[in-house]
Amino acid sequence: MKQLSPVDSIFVYNEQPHAPLHISPIMIYDPRTSEKGAVSFQDVLQTFRSRLQLSPVFRRKLVKVPFNLDNPYWVEDKGFDLEFHVRQLALPKPGDLRQLNTLLARLHSRPLDLNRPPWEAYVIEGLDNIEGFPSGCFAMYLKIHHSAIDGATGNQIIEALHDLTVVPGNFRKEDKWQAEEDPGQLALLGQSYVNLLKQPSKIFNLLKNSVRSISLPADIGQKMHEMEDHGIRELTRFNQKVSPHRVFGAMHMELDRLKAIKNVVGSCTLNDVVLAIVSGGLRHYLIDKDELPETSLIAGVPMSTRAPDNVDAKGGNSVSGMRVSLRTDIADPVNRLIMINADAVASKMYANAVGAQILVDIAESIPSSVAALGMRIMAATGLGSRNPWIHTVVTNVPGPQAPIYMCGAKGLLWLGAGPLLDGMGLFNTINSYNGIVNIAFISDRSMMPDPEFYTECIKRSFHDLESAVSRPLAAVKPKAARKRIIGKTTARKSTGKKATAKKPTTTRAKVS
């Protein structure tokens, strides 16, 4: 039995029927590369069965403490049933991309059964009519509760289920797993009392780290002056209470083309380039609806806080986050990228210096009963949708740059899908795999009734940026760019009043 960390517990407390908190790797495979030229559902099931010992996530379930007086526990499930978790589906004819996206959106909208190990895998067959993929492909949609994994540990689970060669590996590692009895309520309450006695030391650590952060190094203090104002002054259609219904879409780009953009602009990273592409896509989408805010949209960007000597840890979350201005108020794609880079550099330096450890200490210093009550109050009052801290999430989860195989079937595409929250109805996931970068998104169906159009907007943004960097560019440093770009944005001076989100509309313009 192992207790969840305070950060992991937050995802349990914040789970809502209309806003489940699971994350989902999605892969598409070509079975023709396998030894038999085909892969059956039983082959996939056997792969899972032979590799359960490679991650503790597969066979442990959540047990909550009565009245949420303490963080929940992981207990090895004596009733574990693999065939409940691994399931088989098939698309009807013609088996096209629209059908696949619709199915993925429906699967993602359904909460996991938290009385069982919180994960499910769906083998989806019948992908016979998707452009760019051979007929007979199949997909695997794997959803795991966010309390069990973050992006990094999710990748480790994917890698555990796959091979680097067509011939599957033979895992002879002894399976030492043992089932556990569920703990009694009195035992859980007794342990919560012991943990409560440790609370003063946690608060002391919080104060110690907070005092330490008051005196920032000079270079970080200078960078803080270059940070954008990350306050949310205007809301969008994505910053309302979410419904239980989802839409899904994705597009892909060659990694080398993104590197070419990065190399031309200079100081920018690949992550900055992707942020600029998402920013441009949002800008095109909201302009079409006549809903583009005058001030820039703000993205939440998760950051791994996993220590270098802890890269092999399996399960749990080691994440923090920072807010980055997407500069959707800037029309020129290159100028937008330069400004995103300047803000990302300043935000990341500050987050690395003081943010990660303080956030962990804050989470650990709040009694579980208070945290759980706070989550319920936020859900009941709609506080999260009325006072969002960000407009959207953009998370980057790098994957392997060599092919991986499931039962000998070559992985062709690697996508991801994240959770939605009240007040945050658009989640963009970036996955890189085998020379391809994929941008996938999950949104609320009432907020985004036209996901195909948003996909086209992201594609248009990519082409806009690629075309813009092909023009001769002077070497411009971000600080100088900031001064030069001032006054060239499309935004008017903000009134400082927080606007309400406009009601979603369904009109759209054509995108070439």
Q: Would you name the residues annotated as active-site residues?
A: 146
Q: Are 422 and 384 within 8 A, CB to CB?
A: yes
Rounded to a whole number of angstroms, the distance between the first and last alpha carbons of the chain is: 56
Residue 396 zone, left/alpha/beta (φ > 0; ψ -120 to 50; rest):
beta
Residue 229 CB: number of other CB atoms within 10 A?
11
Q: Are 461 and 281 within 8 A, CB to CB?
A: yes
Q: Are 304 and 151 within 8 A, CB to CB?
A: yes
Three-state SS at 500: coil
Tokens of 107: 């699967």
Report the Cα 423 to chain-centroid distance in Å: 16
Q: Are 242 and 425 within 8 A, CB to CB?
A: yes
Helices (H), 136-184: 151-161
Helices (H), 118-217: 151-161, 185-197, 199-214
Q: Are 431 and 250 within 8 A, CB to CB?
A: no
| Sequence-ordered list of residues with C-beta below 8 angstroms from that of 250, at least 6 positions apart, any chain | 101, 415, 438, 439, 440, 441, 455
